Amino acid sequence: MTSTYISTDFWNNKRVVVTGGSGFLGARVVQRLIALGASEVFVPRSINYNLVNAEDSIRLLKDTKPNIVMHLAAKVGGIGDNKLHPAEYFYENLMMGVQLFHSCWQEQIEKFVCVGTVCSYPKHANTPFSEDELWNGYPEETSAPYGLAKKMLLVQSKTYREQYGFNSINLLPANLFGPGDNFDEATSHVIPALIRKCFDAKNQNENEVEVWGTGTASREFLFVDDAAMGIVSAAEFYNDSEPVNLGSGEETTIKSLASKIAIATGYEGKFVWDSSKPDGQPRRKLDTSRALKEFGFRAQTKLDDGLKKMADWYIDSKLS
């Protein structure tokens, strides 16, 4: 049973652009929009529209003539890739977001929906993270370039609303996971990385899996289908520049997460913690009360259930 507001006929006759709409989260958002009756949903491809270039942002909007633009496209990756390519994470995410936002204002688009990141929060924010904490410190260093690039759209949203009356919203989801996630060894996040490692170790009869950090850091994870539900609900019902967290309310340490993934994958070996590698932000847990109040969002999928679905999907894909 969902607790989100019940959709009306809002999406009927709406033309929607979803950047990143072919990606892990974006594909779910597109499916939900179509199911709700959006008349046309456009998914721009980077080969046709390089949104780092302002000219391509304008051309995209002129070609598609949307009522609403949902910006999910981002350069993302794990701690290792963020450490190796900080300038790319900053520049590409900043330019994509700021220029597309400005182009939407220029073209008088009805609404801009920006999906930001929990990485925008200060490294030592009070837990659970309230949206009011966003400006109370510098983000965790390894993800700061990405987090700050996304954070600039919060400023853009407020200033363009104040000066121009332009309607935009900013959503801050917890770490996402689910079937179809990125399992690439170099760029994957912690859940797909651990699922892959446990699966490989089990298949190769190895009894050790190495994990970065000490395992004491905590994270909050949001199942990707729940995130899509929250984004589409906010796009329909929320009209304010104050940012909104989207989360599950479940905080778990990386050590506990590893144990859960071992159960989900059937791995019976041990984990070896490499404390020379960074933990990232010490804790992450979101205050999700604003999302519940403003558009009735509450996550539906428990972490254990989501991990089982994700592990089963990955194992099936490898064995098929």
In the chain, DSSP assigns E strands to 15-19, 40-42, 68-71, 111-115, 168-173, 175-177, 208-212, 218-223, 244-246, 251-253, 270-274
Catalytically active residues, by annotation: 146
Q: What is the DSSP letter of 20?
A: T
Neighbours of 292 (CB within 10 A): 14
Residues 90/91/92/98 CA torsion (nearest 10 deg) = 100
State whether residue 127 is helix, strand or coil.
coil
| Two structure tokens written together for 192 | 């797909």
| Two structure tokens written together for 268 | 């019976």
Alpha-carbon separation of residue 252 from 77, 220, 226, 237, 260 (angstroms): 20, 6, 18, 31, 10
For residues 169 and 235, the answer to whether their CB atoms sit within 8 Å is yes
Residues 208/210/213/219 CA torsion (nearest 10 deg) = -80
Q: What is the DSSP letter of 5?
A: P
